[in-house]
Amino acid sequence: MNLYQNPAHEEQSKILFPPPGYRESRLQKACFHLLKTQPDKSIKSGIPISQKVSFLVFLTITCALFILGQFSINDIMVVFSIFLLLQVIFRFYAAIISIFNSPKTKSTSPSKKSVSFALPKFTLLIPLYHEQAVASRSVSAMEALNYPADKLEVFYLTEEDDKATESALKKAIKHQNFKIISVPKHAPRTKPKALNYGLQFSTGDIVTVYDAEDIPHPQQLLAAAQAFQNGGTNLAVIQAPLHAYNGEESWIASQFDLEYAIHFDVWLPAMTKMGWPIPLGGTSNHFKKNVLEKVGAWDPFNVTEDADLGYRLALNGYSAGMIELPTREEAPINLAQWLPQRTRWIKGHIQSLAVLSRKPFETIKSLGLWRSLGCLITFVSAILTAGLHGPLLLYLAYSIITAPNTLNPLHLIPIILAFSSVILAALASSAVTHCFKPLLTAPFYWPLMSFAFIRAIWELHTRPYIWSKTQHGISKSKIPLLHKEPVT
């Protein structure tokens, strides 16, 4: 089906329109395709009665045992310690293999200005909402990508009522393969809905997602193409690491920068090496388009559509890979930025866990025991520890101050080991040169996760599908320089 452009005005030619009569059908597909075709994979289907009953039974028994004196805070500490130790074992392993992984054995990155295989066509989907402050910068970052223009199309997905961002993009766009797609105003107003809408315009073999503030390495598309060329047929997605460029701007930014460096440089590569499913980052992931469409694309009602899609790909037998060339992006610089974003992440992770656990035996059968264990260690335990970090650390502090003789020293061992694993991972990451100051204060950062966890639980009840947007363009840090080289 051919697309057409409205030639009425020069500025209007920068907007890509659906064929006449197909606007509504494309909108409906963007919003409800996954819900209609795979209802058990969409969070919009709700929580089944069996899950609700199981949770209520568990909660009732736990409360009864606690009231009767058969269950104590110490027992909670033991359960927490078990999950924490599982995490710690994995994290030590991930840090050790990262330290001893020589540059010769790391993931492939193109080292030349030429390649020896046929390059695939890329479609870049870049959703924006009230992002006029970074629109021009985004266009410059995409222009700096070292990839042949005839093998690249860049689609900016703006909301229908966001004329300020659309206007900023019109002024910045100069190339014919850069287009604006206006996403119709319709609930849910989320990033994954916009991605689903934009996907229907794409003609590329590989579909890449970038955020508005992203500055990808100029060679990143080449690295992704080479990774797919060298990967197996089941390789469905390539994740590039995300690094903050303003980590020194504030305490929150430094913690976020350290967290990202460890997550993307150490833990995710280890997970892919072990064959475990990975919770994809919301940006800088490169998908085979045919596989993306086969699994139903993004769930527009899940507020961490990236993690959800990562696990759905794994459930369908596909694998993920990593490349080294990073994307620089803007870290939150204060709690007002950080808290809504982290709340959305935790809320979406709980939504994704709810989908995974709807049919637990089918999930285990699809993933296999080894990959199911990976989900338990990396995904489920991360959600639990986010909720328990604050309360249990407060309990430990209270016990040390008021009744140090009653404190079980064994409770400190998992915490010490956990902190040690983070230190080792930091030393193995790209943050090694500036990790010491944020590491010293990291124990004060982790309990903040519990505030976000509580907010996430409340939002799941009051506004489960509302997307809490992170404001960008407020950082005063110097933006990384871009350098473009020709590719043959």
pLDDT tens-digit profile of 130-173? 999 999 999 999 999 999 999 999 999 999 999 999 999 999 99
User: Mind listing the pLDDT tens digit for each residue in 437-466?
Assistant: 999 999 899 999 999 999 999 999 899 999
Q: CA 383 to CA 343: how far, in whole Å?
A: 12
Rg (CA), the chain: 23
Place of tokens 């020709």: 486
Contact 414, 88 (CB under 8 A): yes
Q: List b or e across 168-190, with b for residues whose CB sees 16 or more CB atoms inside 10 angstroms.
A: bbbebbeeeebbbbbbbeeebbb
Q: Is 407 helix (H, G, I), strand (E, B) or coil?
A: coil
Q: Tell me: pLDDT of 108 over 50.
A: no
Residues 6+ apart with CB under 8 A from 212: 126, 127, 128, 131, 134, 135, 138, 472
Q: Name the residue with higher pLDDT: 400 or 97.
A: 97
**How is residue 175 written in tokens?**
């190339």
pTM for the complete prediction? Answer: 0.90
Q: Tell me: pLDDT of 39 over 80.
A: yes
Q: Name the residue with higher pLDDT: 52 or 470.
A: 470
State how far the alpha carbon of 243 is from the alpha carbons of 24, 213, 214, 387, in Å.
38, 12, 10, 25
User: Taking the mean position of all CA atoms in its chain, how far away is CA 175?
Assistant: 29
Q: Name the residue with higher pLDDT: 79 or 246.
A: 246
At residue 104, the pLDDT reads 41
**Confidence at 97, pLDDT banded by 50, 70, 90:** very high
User: Mind listing the pLDDT tens digit for each residue in 401-441?
Assistant: 887 776 667 667 777 888 899 999 999 999 999 999 999 99
**Average of per-residue pLDDT across 205-211:** 98
Q: CA 357 to CA 75: how far, in whole Å?
A: 25
Angle at 144 between CA 159 and CA 265, to 5 degrees: 85
Angle at 324 between CA 328 and CA 88, to 5 degrees: 95
